Structure 1
Amino acid sequence: MPDHGPDGPDARRGRHITVDHGTGVPHDAAEGHDGRGAEGVDVGGGRIDARHDRERRRLEAYCRWSLHIVLLFAALLEVSGCLAVSVELRAAGRAAAAVLAGVVAAVSGMWIVAGVVLVELVTRERRSPRWLVGAFTVLWPVVTVATTCLLPSDTVTRAGAASALAYGPLTLVLGASLAVLLWRVRVAVVCVVVGLVALFTLAVLGPAHVSTTTAATLVVFTAAFSVFVVPSAALTRWMIDVVRRLWRAQQVAADLAVAEERLRFSRDLHDVFGRTLSTVAIKSELAAELARRGDERAVAQMAAVRDLAHDALAEVRGVVRGYRRIDLAEEIAGARSLLRAAGIPTTVRGVDDPLLACARTAIGEEGADALAWVVREGVTNVLRHGQASSVALDLVVDGTAVVLTLENASTRHLAPADGLGSGLLGLRERLEAVGGTLRAGPSDDGRGYLVHTRVPATEVESVGHVDGLGGVRRHRG
């Protein structure tokens, strides 16, 4: 049997699915959308707000460039430190050592450039070439050992261990930070521990020949530096991963919403059309048998088949056009909750229960349905364009008509529109069918958008103008 409950065909027709990106939950929008717009992109059949896509990309760019800036600053410190050592060695007459220091500076710069490229690839979820990862991995200990051997012992003795951080310690910590992006955190921790042991050994036994106390202090500074930098890199990678997972979840929600809507639409067609086709088949067989017998009742049976076909065609058109009864009170309550949940201050006046009942009586069910669609379409457009600073919804019932206005104040000036979108055109057609009118466009000051609808009363009894506090004055028209 056809399902006529809350989820039956009458409650499922004409539903256009959009996705609330604050929660990733799909919800209905008014009939008439084409699934495209300046603020939306199509994803797998579902509609995703382009503004949130821009915010996601902006966050990823911020995280990516934070890592790039750290690497470039480190490259400046390390290369300049190696070149300073090369100049000192050349001034001391050690030309070969000076050339070697210059080579170390060049290799260090190349290694950091490789790290920048890897950061770009990893944060953009692109495949890193094996040769690049291998070159980075091999050069990391080489550069660390080489820069540690270039420690200027006299400078360290004069200025303390902190002056040596721009050499081997910096390379060690930067490599561990990039290792967090390429591999697991435990790999980076192991590399840091091994590097600290090697750093202490090279500082004491290497060309610098610093004291054990100075080397231990250098190791402590390096460990503290790594405790700050390495978790920061891991946190950056985690933030990017979380944002991307949320985005993919929203894509899945949009795809599932579209798939659910298609399934519901197919069920609607089955409920509306299945029994009719079965009846047509039976009556056609009966008419054919009567015709073979020369019975005049065959004509009546075929006329009944024709009527059934016309009725079925009208029902199918109703499903396709999204025609169904919706409740004005529920649409207003849902709009108020949805706008406030979106952080948009909302003022609703003249929609208390007595007034809504009188409005429904005055304009009939068809008129109330048309106003409900206006509320749904208007609120959907407010959320779609995302430019409203506040929204006001007013319902007024006088002796001749019911007037509904929906106005949203915008944070920027709106130019007059050249025409109506498909959603507003659909609303105009609905209102014209009940004798109503629709006016939509920027407000007089250009700082908002106003939708004004008027549906004439069909009943003699009406209700007076509402003052916004729920007061109702009854009179006879």
Structure 2
Amino acid sequence: MQNWPVTNARRFEVYVRWSLYVLLLAVPLQYAAMLVGGSAGGAQGRTLVHLVTLVGLALILTAFNVLAARWSFDRVMQGPAPVPRKFVVCWAISCLALAAGTVALLIPETAIFLWYLVGCVIGAASPLISARRTVIISLVLTVVALALALAVTPGALVGLAFSLIVIWTAWSMGWMLRVLRELQRAHEVETQLGLAEERLRISRDLHDVFGRTLATISVKSELAAELSRRGLHERAADEMAQIRQIANTAGAEVRRVVRGERQAGWSDEIEGARALLASAGIRCVVAGEDVPEKYAETLAWVIREGVTNVLRHSRATQVSITTAVEPDEVALTLTNDGARGTGAAGESTGTGLVAMADRLRGVGGRIEHQQDGDWFVLTASMPLPQEVPA
């Protein structure tokens, strides 16, 4: 399925291109049939040299038409591309030469073929022409054909029909390739957005996972160093063993984050926060109601970020986590008693809380914080959908 859009787009483009090429290749075949029919009728002044020359001119013009159609398709799919002036001049000369030679034969099918010739020449460039201009060209050709049909020969109307079929068929092929190009661009943008979203998810999850993990390692490393300086080597060794265990767990968390298997659960996050704070010597009190499952994951990330900030920016000895489910919103309050002058600012302006605030704003929630003496209070709230009375 991964190769489906690109593979089929290329096949479709090749199909459209060659459909128009084959349509333009019908010119020399019809011209040869017309000459053979006219020869059988015994038109005057026609020799084998005349016939071969005119068929050769038809083949040359067809080659120019195919090249022009290819250039038109390339511009549709790849953008503006210069066309040599010599090519345009030679294309025009071959067209005029074939038209003049056909008129000189004075056979009944001349009017039909000339109009078909005009249709093929215009059709080669039709993929680049807008629908409005194509309509104008069609109206002009119709008016001219009607005038010729009334003044010269009714065959002009038959030739006009062939001409319009070729022109609009070529235009529709160009339109299909333009649609294909837009679909390809949309597919590329979708792919780029998917990659950007996945990178954002991984970076956000890694920040959430390792923010707390690194804070834990930092706290325990300081504790182990202090114990070692005091000569309590066994306790220091225990702390270092715990640090190694945390590092091993972090490696497993990285693999789960990269694979997209990690989901923040409410109960797991509460227990993890309690264990982490306990390992740092901080008492944790949890109270309140159960959070609705729909909002548990977002608020679990708030707990993770809040606990990480407590370890990084405070000297807390006690942390409380309280939840409240009101009729119109669910709220989470996280407080600690170790706020510092610089800690409060650092906690409020850290990139983690900014990211949490952005995430909550995305679902209509908000984050508020305040400092009351040594206590720092972080409140996150999310609105609950209101039931519409029947």
Q: Does 1:60 align with 2:13?
A: yes
CA drift of 1:200 comes to: 8.8
Query: Aligned partners of 1:193 and 1:148: how far apart in 2?
Result: 25
Instruction: Give the conservation status (yes or no) of the 8 Å contact 1:144–1:171.
Output: no
Residues 201-240 of structure 1: pairs in structure 2 closer than 5 A? 213=150, 215=152, 217-240=154-177
Q: Which has the higher helix share?
A: 2
Q: CA deviation at 1:174?
A: 1.0
Taking structure 1 as reference, are residues 293 and 237 closer, same or farther at Cα in structure 2, changes over 3 Å only?
same
Q: Tell me how far apart the structure 2 counterparts of residues 191 and 294 of structure 1 sit (CA, whole Å).
A: 97
1:142 alignment partner AA: L
Q: Distance in 2 between matches of 1:266 and 1:251?
A: 22
Residues 167/151 of structure 1: CA separation in 2 closer, same or farther (3 Å cut): farther
**For residues 332-351 of structure 1, what are the structure 2 equivalents within 5 Å?**
none
| Residues 1:134 and 1:181: Cα distance change in structure 2 (over 3 Å) | same
SS at structure 1 position matched to 2:152: helix
C-alpha change, 1:187 and 1:140, in structure 2 (3 Å) is farther
Kindly state the Cα deviation for residue 249 of structure 1 after the two structures are TM-superposed.
2.0
| 1:75 corresponds to | 28
1:7 is matched with none
Question: Are the counterparts in 1 of residues 61 and 94 from structure 2 also a CA contact under 8 Å?
Answer: yes
Match of 2:57 in 1: 107
Post-superposition CA distance 1:389-440 (Å, at most 9, x none)? xxxxxxxxxxxxxxxxxxxxxxxxxxxxxxxxxxxxxxxxxxxxxxxxxxxx
Cα-to-partner distance string for 1:234-256 (whole Å, 9 max, x where unaligned): 11221232234223322332332
Say whether residues 1:167 and 2:120 are aligned partners: no
The alignment's TM-score, normalised by the length of structure 2, stands at: 0.53
The alpha carbon displacement at 1:264 in A equals: 1.0
**One-letter code aligned to 1:164:** T
1:301 deviates by 3.6
Q: Is 1:150 aligned to residue 104 of structure 2?
A: yes
Cα–Cα, structure 1 residues 62 and 99, in superposed 2: closer, same or farther, change >3 Å? same
Which residue type is aligned with residue 117 of structure 2?
T
Are 2:21 and 2:66, in contact at CA under 8 Å, matched by a contact in 1? yes
**With CA pairs under 8 Å and 6+ residues apart, which has the higher RCO, 1 or 2?**
1
- Sort the Cα spacing of 1:303 and 1:102 in 2 relative to 1 into closer, same or farther, 3 A: closer
Residue 109 of structure 1: how far off its partner (Å): 1.6
Q: TM-score, normalised by structure 1?
A: 0.45
Aligned-residue offset at 1:172: 0.7
Partner residue, 1:274: 211
**Aligned-partner Cα distance in 2 for 1:93–1:247:** 56
After the TM superposition, which residues 319-398 of structure 1 pair with which residues of structure 2 at under 5 Å, given as runs? 319-320=257-258, 322-324=260-262
CA contact (8 A) 2:145 2:157 kept: no
Secondary structure (helix, strand or coil) at the match of 1:171 reads helix
Contact 1:86 1:102 in 2 (8 A): no
Q: Which amino acid aligns with 2:217?
A: V
Q: Distance in 2 between matches of 1:104 and 1:257?
A: 58
Aligned residue pairs total: 260
Residue number among 217, 220, 231 corresponding to 1:283 in the alignment:
220
Cα-to-partner distance string for 1:25-59 (whole Å, 9 max, x where unaligned): xxxxxxxxxxxxxxx4xxxxxxx243x54443443
**Counterpart code for 1:314:** A
Matched, 1:308 2:262: no
The whole-number CA distance in structure 2 between the counterparts of 1:191 and 1:102 is 33
Check 1:196–1:78 CA distance in 2 against 1; reply closer, same or farther (3 A cut). farther
- C-alpha distance after superposition, 1:232-290 (max 9, x if no partner): 22112212322342233223323322331222122222211221112212332343344
2:253 is paired with a residue whose SS is helix
Q: Does 1:139 align with 2:93?
A: yes
Q: Deviations over 1:52-103 (max 9, x none)?
A: 54443443343333222222222211244357668988x84576xx756643
Q: Structure 1 pair 119/236, CA: closer, same or farther in 2 (3 Å)?
A: same
Distance 1:317 1:60, change over 3 A: closer
Q: Of the two, which has the highest radius of gyration? A: 2
Q: Measure how far apart 1:198 and its partner are.
A: 7.8
Question: Contact conserved, 1:177 with 1:230, CA < 8 A, in 2?
Answer: yes
Q: 8 Å contact 1:291–1:298 — kept in the other structure?
A: yes
Q: Which runs of 5+ in 1 are unaligned?
A: 1-39, 41-47, 157-162, 204-211, 327-477
User: 1:256 matched to which residue of 2?
Assistant: 193
- The SS at the match of 2:182 is helix
Query: Conserved in 1, the CA contact under 8 Å of 2:210 and 2:250?
Result: yes
Percentage of pairs with the same residue: 33
**Aligned 8 A contact 2:126 2:167 in 1:** yes
